[in-house]
Amino acid sequence: MQNKRAGIAGVGFYVPEKVLTNRDLEKMVETSDEWIRTRTGISERHIAEKGTGTSEIAAKAAMIALKNANVRPDKIDLIIAGTSTSDMPLPSCACLIQEKIGAPNAAAFDLAAACGGFIYALVTAEQFIKNGTYKTVLVIGADLISPFIDWTDRATCVLFGDGAGAAVVRPVSSGGILSSVLGSDGRHKDLLKIPAGGSKLPASEASVKNGGHYLMMSGSEVFKLAVRSMSDAVTLALANAKVSKEEIACFIPHQANQRIIDAVSERLGVPKEKVFINVQKYGNTSAASCIIALCEALQEDKIKKKDKVVFATFGSGLVWAALVMEW
């Protein structure tokens, strides 16, 4: 299987049952349904019950993907969990998922790239497939953001939702991943962060009182950098794959908010009818964003065999990525 391309054999996603609408948020913070929709495009998001771990929703998404790929859990060689919200600092979320789905033969590790987690994990899986190390890799993008949200801060609490998605990646003789671009710039580390809870600032009474465990974001700066970096990454990935913008059948950008999606699509010159959007239903699900969107695009028959599908993502770090594949 050496030097073969990597393709997706099956996908699946899961979101918690509880739905938090904009009307619900009106009762929690000073905001309105109209204010949220006009600025973000979001109408509702799914929120996990307290005490839920990321591994739980990830395992549910994984089992759906495995079923759709017709692959048994014991046939998985490797699990890569793209997440920044593991159940606990140790062990990894991937190991917890491995146990939950019953994949005794799989190596497992987490990959932290914030909202870029799924695409980063997919590119990593591709390398193991291409060099012949593994044949079947389970790639997961999952995050429970809700425990890290300050529900009194209307600038951030309206944006995010919880969710998980998974893809079974295997060698393919044609099509599959054609090119990818990964990038990062740590100089912008303070624009989007959760400052406390790590080795530098461990959890303490003071860190909790100071709100250090909540997500903090400089929205306007993040917007500008997200639009530029995703657009540039897609342009480079298309050039590397020798695919023109006109050949794009489905563009799946990170579902951060409607304004970013529109700005990136316009900058790239991708027609609206080719841009898949589901941010209105789920909000920003971080690492799960692109894979949930892919699942729904397939369900809605937006992607057909041989279609060129393009992904773009961006997240805390700052990190960004683009990927071109033939379905």
Sorted by where each begins, the domain ranges of the chain are 5-174, 179-326
- What are the DSSP calls for 250-263, one per residue? EEEE--S-HHHHHH
Q: How many CB atoms lie within 10 A of CB 181?
A: 23
CA-nearest of 175, 95, 136 to 10 is 136
- Do 285 and 58 touch, CB atoms closer than 8 A? no
Which of the following CATH numbers is that of domain 179-326: 3.40.47.10, 3.40.50.1820, 3.40.50.880, 3.50.50.60?
Answer: 3.40.47.10
Please count the residues of the chain: 327
* pLDDT for 3: 60
The CATH H-level superfamily of 5-174 is Thiolase/Chalcone synthase (3.40.47.10)
- What are the DSSP calls for 224-272, one per residue? HHHHHHHHHHHHHHHHHHT--GGGEEEEEE--S-HHHHHHHHHHHT--G
5-174 matches 179-326 in fold? yes
With 0-12 CB in 10 A as exposed, 13-18 as middle and 19+ as buried, what is 39? Answer: middle
> Whole-model pTM above 0.85?
yes
- Do 49 and 77 touch, CB atoms closer than 8 A? no
* pLDDT for 288: 99
DSSP letter, residue 276: -
Q: 3-class DSSP state for residue 45?
A: strand
* pLDDT for 4: 83
* pLDDT for 258: 97
* pLDDT for 219: 82
* pLDDT for 1: 42
270-317: per-residue pLDDT in tens? 999 999 999 999 999 999 999 999 999 999 999 999 999 999 999 999
**Alpha-carbon span 94 to 126, nearest angstrom:** 18
- Do 137 and 129 touch, CB atoms closer than 8 A? yes
- Do 307 and 327 touch, CB atoms closer than 8 A? yes
Catalytic residue numbers? 115, 254, 284
Calculate the dihedral angle through the C-alpha atoms of 35, 40, 42, 48, rounding to the nearest 10 degrees: -110
Segments in the chain below pLDDT 50: 1
Cα four-point dihedral sign 114, 242, 134, 68? positive
